[in-house]
Structure 1
Amino acid sequence: MKRILLSLTFILAGLQVSLAQVQIRRAMTLMGSQFEITLVDQDSIVANNHIDQAVAEIERIENLISEWRPHTQISEVNRNAGIKAVQVDREVFELTERALYFSKISEGAFDISIAALDKVWRFDGSMEHMPSEAEIQKSIAHVGYPYIELDSVHSTIFLKKPNMKIGFGSIGKGYAADRGRKLMQDLGVPAGMINASGDIASWGQQKDGKPWTIGVLNPFRSHKMIKVLRFNEHAVATSGSYEKYVEFDDVRYSHIIDPKTGYPATGVVSVTVYGPSAEFANGLSTSMMVLGVKKGKKLAKRFPEYRFIIISDNKRIYR
């Protein structure tokens, strides 16, 4: 009986592979960033229809949480900062709740209220000197996750301080990648990868039966890889300062700002985290960039289902 069941399992597995005849990739701009969706599916018509549904799901999420689109629930929350609580969908409430969880476990290194930060740092090549201490302190006047009040019973969000703002630039794309993957799995798509501008969620295998491969770049030697990750159902997120940064007195200042101090993260050039969820991996990688090597490693080790690669500004690699 066991042999019969085992044979049947292999037959069914082979049938699933044979049904998946094409591997289709499509690039597009979503959530203000470059997305790429790759599916292994029955044929090109079915695959493209499924990609359309994944795009619609990501756009649905953007229309809930974007702080740039005036009609979204998060924009409504921001408009009512210091005025009143705003009722939101349970999905939005729970995403905010998870964001606050990251703020707490990282001791404020992660903070969605950083959306209110005054832009005293510029990473477009136009900065000629460090901003003053007074400018930096003023820039964080409206930042602080303890002033975000959640009411689970009524599903409301209240920003206690006037001019506060929240935004999901830190975990929103990872969440969209996770949701896109789940939708495709629910629709029976055997394999694919959602790449949300570097926040990646995958499942199944490539058409040729090989695992998905993602290279972790060496920020000091752009043509070299630190590691090539190979996996089936997994997620990856990378936070880094190697593309957007400024240097003063031989110190590199990242575009990732410490919400508590208003100063850019220093000491770490890149953090890659991989595990089950792209959203969670992104929350960890952002937190670790701000915390630095020692505290970042300590935080990551609380979550053994996730692995990390930290590259420090002195070119050391921590795994």
Structure 2
Amino acid sequence: MQRALLCIIFIVTGLPISFAQVQIRRAMTLMGSQFEITLVDQDSSIANSRIDQAVAEIERIENLISEWRSHTQIAEVNRNAGIKAVQVDRELLELTQRALYFSKISDGAFDISIAALDKVWRFDGSMEEKPSAVEIQKSIAHVGYQYIEIDSVHSTIFLKKPNMKIGFGSIGKGYAADRGRQLMQDLGVQAGMINASGDIASWGQQVNGKAWSIGVLNPFRSHKMIKVLKFHEHAVATSGSYEKYVEFDDVRYSHIIDPKTGYPATGVVSVTVYGPSAEFANGLSTSMMVLGVKEGRKLAKQFPKYKFIIIADNKRIYR
């Protein structure tokens, strides 16, 4: 997921003296990405202590769902692809079930088993040539959400095909933002914002009484905003092809892959979705990027609690 099209706007002047609160913001690297946690609390000491707790919760989630860390449960599931089912925590099982739900409603446009293509398409600067059609075809043979078997009774996940792999790069940060928000609310923190590299979950209001403001930038017009979102308890996520990509022969290939073809999705530059849950918004935005404008809008309109902004590669904006 790329997040450069979201701009957080903080306005913290004009604080009524009677509020006796502070607004603390801290940036850090978590889950391999830039996070920012902002809390409104009684004083800076309490706020910073709460941020430490939010960070610990996000690190706990990373140590559960990261496919890159060898000790995690999801790494164990991947190692046993085609061999045996692996027992996992109920939390991971349910996250996988929700991912499979997105696969079903998007007709496979969303698929966590796309992680099997991580050695074919690399967006870390190490790719020197475009993968061949044969390489891509071989790799997508290991992709398919229908081969992910869930046993709810025994809490196991089994990848039926050898060399399959699943990963939560698509919804993991949104889930972490949601969980961070829930933890802070449970601890009595009155307001705040968890920005998980652009997957944002907020609640309450800024210390000056104003709503949280998120600007959606236009990738075709530098520093121009398409819309400023203002909300209290809400979430927003953006999927885009505008920053994380590779180029071969003057053609740009996005990091968002169509699971059915193995090639980067085309036709849409970015999708911003906003509603109650960052995880759900992220699942929708990723699905819509792959489905394209027409089918993506059709999918999103099934969920009236969520709104969207689609920027197509012909520079048209759809809402």
Same fold? TM cut 0.5: yes
Matched with 2:195 is 195
Q: Which has the larger radius of gyration?
A: 1
Counterparts of 2:71 and 2:122, CA distance in 1: 28
Query: Residues 123, 69 of structure 1: CA spacing in aligned structure 2 closer, same or farther, 3 A cutoff?
Result: closer
Matches within 5 A, 1:289-308: 289-308=289-308
Matched with 2:11 is none
TM-score calculated relative to the size of structure 2? 0.91
Matched with 2:232 is 232
Counterparts of 1:61 and 1:118, CA distance in 2: 21
**Letter aligned with residue 219 of structure 1:** P
| Cα deviation digits, residues 145-165 of structure 1 (max 9, x gap) | 111000111111000011111
TM-superposed CA distance for 1:253, in Å, is 2.7
Secondary structure at 1:223 match in 2: coil
User: Is the contact between residue 252 and residue 266 of structure 1 (CA under 8 Å) also seen in structure 2?
Assistant: no
Query: Residues 149, 122 of structure 1: CA spacing in aligned structure 2 closer, same or farther, 3 A cutoff?
Result: closer
Matched with 1:120 is 120
TM-superposed CA distance for 1:127, in Å, is 6.0
| Corresponding position: 1:255 with 2:255 | yes
TM-superposed CA distance for 1:133, in Å, is 1.8
Query: Residues 70, 248 of structure 1: CA spacing in aligned structure 2 closer, same or farther, 3 A cutoff?
Result: closer
User: Is the contact between residue 118 and residue 140 of structure 1 (CA under 8 Å) also seen in structure 2?
Assistant: no
TM-superposed CA distance for 1:125, in Å, is 6.4
Query: Residues 22, 151 of structure 1: CA spacing in aligned structure 2 closer, same or farther, 3 A cutoff?
Result: same
**Letter aligned with residue 306 of structure 1:** Y
Matched with 1:204 is 204
| Corresponding position: 1:175 with 2:175 | yes
| Corresponding position: 1:23 with 2:23 | yes
Q: Which shows bigger deviation, 54-63 or 116-125?
A: 116-125
Matched with 2:10 is none
- Unaligned stretches of 5+ in structure 1? 1-16
Counterparts of 2:139 and 2:95, CA distance in 1: 26
TM-superposed CA distance for 1:41, in Å, is 0.4
TM-superposed CA distance for 1:19, in Å, is 5.4
Percent identical pairs in the alignment equals 89
Q: Which has the higher contact order (CA 8 A, sep 6+)?
A: 2
Matched with 2:223 is 223
Matched with 1:6 is none
Counterparts of 2:84 and 2:126, CA distance in 1: 39
Matches within 5 A, 1:301-316: 301-316=301-316
TM-score calculated relative to the size of structure 1? 0.91
| Cα deviation digits, residues 30-66 of structure 1 (max 9, x gap) | 1111100000000000000000010111111111111
Matched with 2:82 is 82
Matched with 2:317 is 317
User: Is the contact between residue 23 and residue 40 of structure 1 (CA under 8 Å) also seen in structure 2?
Assistant: yes
| Corresponding position: 1:94 with 2:94 | yes
Query: Residues 214, 318 of structure 1: CA spacing in aligned structure 2 closer, same or farther, 3 A cutoff?
Result: same
Structure with more helix by fraction: 1
- Unaligned stretches of 5+ in structure 2? 1-16
Secondary structure at 1:221 match in 2: coil
